[in-house]
Amino acid sequence: MTPPSKDLPSYQDVGVHAVTGTSAVELPSALTCTGVSARRLKNGAFNGGVAAATSSEFFKSKSLWKPLAKKWDHRLSEESKARKASSLKGAAKYLATPGLISLGGGLPSSDYFPFEHIEIRVPTVGQFSEAETKLTGQNIKIGKHDVPEGKSAFDLAISLNYGQGTGSAQLLRFVTEHTEIVHNPPYQDWQCIIDVGSTSGLDMLYRIFCERGDHVISEEYTFATAVETAAPLGVKFLGVKIDSEGLIPEDLDQLLVNWDEKARGGRKPFVLYTVPSGQNPTGSTQGKVRREEIYKVAQKHDLLIIEDEPYYFLQMQPYTGPNAPPAPLPATHDEFLNSLVPSLLKMDVDGRVIRMDSFSKVISPGARIGWITASSQICERFVRHCEVSTQNPAGFSQVILHRLLDEHWGHTGYLDWLIFIRKEYTQRRDIILQACEKYLPKELASWTPPAAGMFHWIKIAVEKHPDFGKRKVVEIEDDVFQASVKECVLMSPGSWFAAEKEVEHTQLFFRATFAAAAGSDMTEAIRRFSIALKKVFKWEESN
């Protein structure tokens, strides 16, 4: 087996079989957008019938030169180890018998699905705005029997029946290809499993790996729902210090090196939960080197990394300041993909990263569709869990997303959409930054321009408060929060996002989102927040 040459371009679609000596060696052949149709042809017949068993293995490059993922048996929870494959689903193997009539499974007949078709009106590639979609969008009809009628790879008769815990073959093919195009994981046996969104995915991952009394490590400020999902399971979060690039690897290492099982009341942690890009709430983005350092610490302490990346494609154009023209958009798909900080998954030679992707921030939350990418062992445990809980995402969502992403836009059109979305969020971020520069007193408020995501994290110089040292920081925080509401603006207090709830809070932050409000509203909101802040701090411009 020959390792890949470092000189080979990152995104190539070779598909060449070289012969070295007497054994056939398959060269690295990472998928590109343009290689997708050839790959599909090469992979042969597609099985996407009702509740068809499927796997990413059917849709990936064969890359036998890559290492296999590590095994994680020693990390599985009692619950997960005990979970067996469904006996009824085991009977599915007989369904391939030619001429067999099945009175086995309780799948209803599609005759009784009261939908003849559904039609979606969606943007044409390159004309993505709401206004453009009205004018130039396309109506796409999804019929009940499109597959037997040769109109599509997916239809209502299939998508609206029961499915598999993996998600449908049709959508799994798309996300597997997309994942290979963007991340091309450097180990062999990675797979994707479609879930009903990353909150559900995270709940399952905790239950697959953690026992009561365990700790999960994260940034010191983190996604509140991640903490609240873990807490009732008896799993506590531990915060690691952050800087403008997020989680500090040395602090992570020290926490683990100095772990005292008795003092801490739990075994040494082995799960790191991190949001590398546009972290919620701090908006910080780990650079490439930072990610490599974090990965090395994970290797040193044999951690599993849950890489939660809803904002990965909301990595923005660089901030050019209040009066400079915006940075130019990427000219090609390659330029776009190369402009993204490489994911932890992309550097994961061990199969220790469980990446969570989601369509919530880039298509719509109401689709309730995300996916994980992880080693086949972890994916298998995950699917077993889906089978006895969420089963699979809604068929309406799956068939609509498949028709839009796979058959209408295709991989290149989807990347164009992502470039569009990121440009829009860049503009929104710039508005809020300009408002902050205009209204917030520098002496009281400071920030790093977010490089990704939806959140702007404002540090308040709490030591400037007249009562600093006399009152608790969370009391001052609450004063600012209440004064803001009085001024008719809602900002999220930083303490809501503390990884460790019981530790006394000594810093003062507020999180503002630039995702939803209209531009002029955002500016006005920051103006109001400034008034509230100055009032609470008894601050006058002359200060």
Query: Interface residues for a second copy in 337-366 (CB under 8 A)?
Result: 360-366
Q: What one-character DSSP code corresponds to residue 405?
A: I
Of 52, 233, 349, 461, the one binding a second copy by CB under 8 A = 233
Q: Tell me which residues in 523-542 interact with a second copy (CB under 8 A).
A: 524-526, 528-529
Close Cβ partners of 366 (under 8 Å, ≥ 6 residues apart): none
Rounded Cα distance between 67 and 348, Å, is 10
Q: Should residue 376 be labelled a site residue for a second copy when binding is judged by CB under 8 A?
A: no
Q: If binding is defined by CB under 8 A, does position 149 make contact with a second copy?
A: no
| Residue 112 binds a second copy, judged by CB under 8 A | yes
83 is an interface residue for a second copy by CB under 8 A: yes
Q: Give the binding range for a second copy (CB under 8 A) out of 29-37, 52-60, 111-119, 472-480.
A: 111-119
Please answer whether residues 434 and 322 qualify as being in contact, where contact means their C-beta atoms are separated by less than 8 angstroms. yes
Whole-angstrom distance, CA of residue 298 vs CA of residue 308: 16
From the list 231, 327, 329, 503, which residue makes contact with a second copy (rule: CB under 8 A)?
Answer: 231
469: left (phi over 0), alpha (psi -120 to 50) or beta: left
394 touches a second copy by CB under 8 A? yes
Cross-strand pairs, 140: 120
Closer by beta carbon to a second copy, 21 or else 106? 106
Q: Which is nearer to a second copy, 249 or 494 (CB)?
A: 494
User: Per DSSP, what are the bridge partners of residue 512?
Assistant: 456
Of the listed pieces 241-249, 326-334, 337-345, 508-516, which binds a second copy according to CB under 8 A? 508-516
Which residues between 405 and 424 bind a second copy (CB under 8 A)?
417, 421, 424
454 binds a second copy (CB under 8 A): yes
Which range touches a second copy (CB under 8 A), out of 37-45, 113-121, 186-194, 316-324?
A: 113-121
Site membership for a second copy, residue 249 (CB under 8 A): no
334 binds a second copy (CB under 8 A): no
CB of 255: closest distance to a second copy in angstroms?
Answer: 25
Q: How far is CA 138 from CA 35, 149, 404, 448, in A?
A: 26, 21, 10, 41
Which residues, 6 or more positions from 238, have their beta carbon under 8 angstroms from its beta carbon? 215, 216, 217, 218, 255, 269, 499, 500
Give how many residues touch a second copy by CB under 8 A. Answer: 116
Q: For residue 95, give the DSSP letter.
A: G
Identify residue 475 by its one-letter amino acid code.
E
Q: Which positions from 211 through 230 interact with a second copy, judged by CB under 8 A? A: 224-225, 228-229
Question: In this chain, which of 116, 260, 502, 541 binds a second copy, going by CB under 8 A?
Answer: 116
3-state secondary structure 406-426: HHHHHHHHHHHHHHHHHHHHH
Q: Which one of the spans 266-274, 287-295, 343-351, 489-497 is the region binding a second copy (CB under 8 A)?
A: 489-497
- Provide, rounded to whole angstroms, the least separation between the CB of residue 491 and a second copy: 5
Strand partners, 242: 247
Whole-angstrom Cα distance, residue 3 to residue 351?
17
Residue from 185, 269, 393, 449 touching a second copy (CB under 8 A): that is 393
Residue type, 146: D
| CB atoms near residue 296 (< 10 Å) | 13
Please, what is the minimum distance in Å from the beta carbon of residue 158 to a second copy? 8
Binding string, residues 182-201; x marks residues near a second copy by CB under 8 A: --------------xx-xx-
Draw the binding track, 122-141, toward a second copy (x: CB under 8 A; -: no contact): xx----xxx--xx--x-x--
The strand pairing partners of 19, in sequence order, are 24
Contacts of 522 (CB under 8 A, 6+ apart): 428, 431, 432, 435, 512, 514
Candidate segments 52-60, 117-125, 236-244, 340-348, binder of a second copy by CB under 8 A: 117-125
Please answer whether residues 109 and 93 qualify as being in contact, where contact means their C-beta atoms are separated by less than 8 angstroms. Answer: no
Task: Kindly state the smallest distance separating residue 182's Cβ from a second copy, in Å.
Answer: 19
Q: Is residue 75 part of the contact set for a second copy (CB under 8 A)? A: no
